[in-house]
Amino acid sequence: MAETVLVVAELADGKPKKITYEMLTAAREVADEFEYDVAVLAIGSRLDADALAETFGARGADVLFVADDDALAEYAVEPYAALLTQLIEDEEPALVLFGFTPTGRDLAPRVAARVKAGLATDITGVRLEDDEILFIRPMYSGQAIATVKIASDVKMATVRPNTWPVAQPGDGDAADIEELDVDDLPEPRTDVLEVEVSQSERPELTEASIVVSGGRGVGSAENFKIIEELADLLGAAVGTTRAVVDAGWRPYEEQVGQTGKTVSPQLYFAIGISGAIQHISGMRTSKYIVAINKDPEAPIFKIADYGIVGDLHKIVPLLIEEIKNLKEAEV
């Protein structure tokens, strides 16, 4: 059998999430160069394996490994890591890809330590040369870009969301389905007692193609209404700064930056945000950055593609109107 790139799929309600399609693109990039196969691992409960095999097959996967059991409905590191360890020992893939997402961040280091594989974190690119896969990844919160080599036979990487394009369906055949043994999986050692989902309508912050972030300049929790309105108009996620979280205006889950989330959307609005180095480290790889700030000297303008100097309380409502006009003109 050819060597394999294994993609650890992320599913929501049994359907692949965007990151899974992005990982497929990354996997094909490596597989095409080295003539490897691409395999996908789908873990869950009551999965439609045929539909997944078709979806992934059309996007370049050769094999679909399925682990289906009621006990696997929710992610838990113990059973997932056990499954993956067994699969890696059996198949010895050349490369295993995870998302740099809450699940991938939790799972990949456990598995890497167990099978003694080198793991490259949050990769934004691969370089393929002389039979070698090199990984490109930010370090120092994006202030340095590293080229990394992994010495182990099985190599692992977590993939930064919004970096590779989503794999599009071609005319590939459905992937071959292989069912994995789900007997005797270890029980989770942790017990999730309660989940408070803060907002379900808006896209996940790290996956959103547009992020609208408001900083201390917004002025109050109440004033964030205009930030939310702009975000909802654009189908965007809401982000914020640590200053705002510390003030208690927004929850920590929305914080972008050094000790918050790293985002890489197509479009990032920084509204009433000064542009401290710890904030910039979480959003500097956004494709386009728009800054709205009343202080022309604010550091955020140094990295913004488009800037407006002015009072956000005036600018943002105008912006909302103008985007509404645009949307109306389009339909």
Partner 1 sequence: MRIIIPMKRVPDTADPVTVRDGRVDLAAVQTWAIGPNEEYAIEEALRLVEKLGEGTVTLLNIGPEEAQETIRKGLAMGAHDAYQCQDEAFDTLDALGRARVLAAAIEKIGDYDIIWGGMQSSDTNDAQTTIMLAELLDLPHVSAVMTVEEVGDGFIIVRAEAEGGVKKVKVPTPCVLAEAQGPNEPRYPSLRGIMGAKKKPLTVWNADDLGLDTDELEPLVEVLTLEPPPARTAGRILEGEPEEVVRELVRLLHEEAKVI
Ligand X SMILES: Cc1cc2nc3c(=O)[nH]c(=O)nc-3n(C[C@H](O)[C@H](O)[C@H](O)COP(=O)(O)OP(=O)(O)OC[C@H]3O[C@@H](n4cnc5c(N)ncnc54)[C@H](O)[C@@H]3O)c2cc1C
Only one of the segments 28-36, 57-65, 215-223, 253-261 lies at the binding site for partner 1 (rule: CB under 8 A); that segment is 253-261
Stretch that binds ligand X, among 51-59, 130-138, 228-236, 241-249 (CB under 6 A): 241-249
- Cα–Cα distance, 317 to 319 (Å, whole number): 5
Residue 77 binds which one of ligand X, partner 1, none, with CB within 5 to 8 A depending on kind? Answer: partner 1
Site for partner 1 in 17-76 (CB under 8 A): none
Reported as type and span, the H/E element at residue 329 is: helix 312-330
Q: Does 239 bind ligand X (CB under 6 A)?
A: no
CB count within 10 Å of CB 139 equals 12
Within residues 92-131, the interface with partner 1 by CB under 8 A covers: 100-103, 105-106, 108-110, 112-114, 116-122
Please pick, from the candidates 166, 276, 303, 320, the single residue that binds ligand X as defined by CB under 6 A: 276
Q: Which does 251 bind (CB under 5 to 8 A by kind): partner 1, ligand X, none?
A: partner 1
Per rule CB under 8 A, is residue 214 in the interface with partner 1? no
Q: Which of 207, 256, 194 is nearest to 10 (CA)?
A: 207
Give the residue from 157, 39, 55, 24 showing the smallest Cα distance to 87: 39
The answer to whether residue 316 forms part of the interface with ligand X (CB under 6 A) is no
- Single out the residue of 45, 177, 253, 294 in contact with partner 1 (rule: CB under 8 A): 253
Q: Are 42 and 7 in contact (CB under 8 A)?
A: no
Six-digit token pair at 201?
């309508």
Q: Considering only residues 139-178, where is the footprint of partner 1 by CB under 8 A?
A: 139-152, 158
Out of 57, 138, 257, 307, the only residue in the binding site for ligand X (CB under 6 A) is: 257
Gap between the Cα atoms of 92 and 301, Å rounded: 48
Contact 269, 230 (CB under 8 A): yes
One DSSP character per residue, 273-306 reads ----HHHHTTTTT-SEEEEEES-TT-GGGGT-SE
Q: Which two tokens stand for residue 63?
A: 């094999």
Nearer to partner 1, 141 or 223 (CB): 141
Nearer CB in complex with ligand X: 55/274: 274
Residue 308 contacts partner 1 per CB under 8 A: yes
- Based on the shown chain and the rule CB under 6 A, indicate whether residue 262 belongs to the binding site for ligand X: no
**Residue 202 CA, distance from chain mean position:** 15
Q: What are phi and psi of 63, to 5 degrees?
A: -130, 145
> What are the φ and ψ backbone dihedral angles of 10, each rounded to 5 degrees?
-115, 130
Kindly state the smallest distance separating residue 158's Cβ from partner 1, in Å.
8
Amino acid at 42: A
Euclidean distance between CA atoms 317 and 19, whole angstroms = 33
The angle at the Cα of 312, spanning 308 to 314, to the nearest 5 degrees, equals 100
283 binds ligand X (CB under 6 A): no
Residue with smaller CB distance to ligand X, 115 or 244:
244
Stretch that binds ligand X, among 107-115, 131-139, 186-194, 237-245 (CB under 6 A): 237-245
Q: How many CB atoms lie within 10 A of CB 118?
A: 16
Q: Which of 184, 190, 222, 297 binds partner 1 (CB under 8 A)?
A: 190
**Which range, of 60-68, 150-158, 210-218, 223-231, touches ligand X by CB under 6 A?**
210-218
- Chain contacts with ligand X (rule: CB under 6 A): 215-217, 241-244, 255-260, 272-274, 276, 278-279, 282, 293-295, 298, 311-313
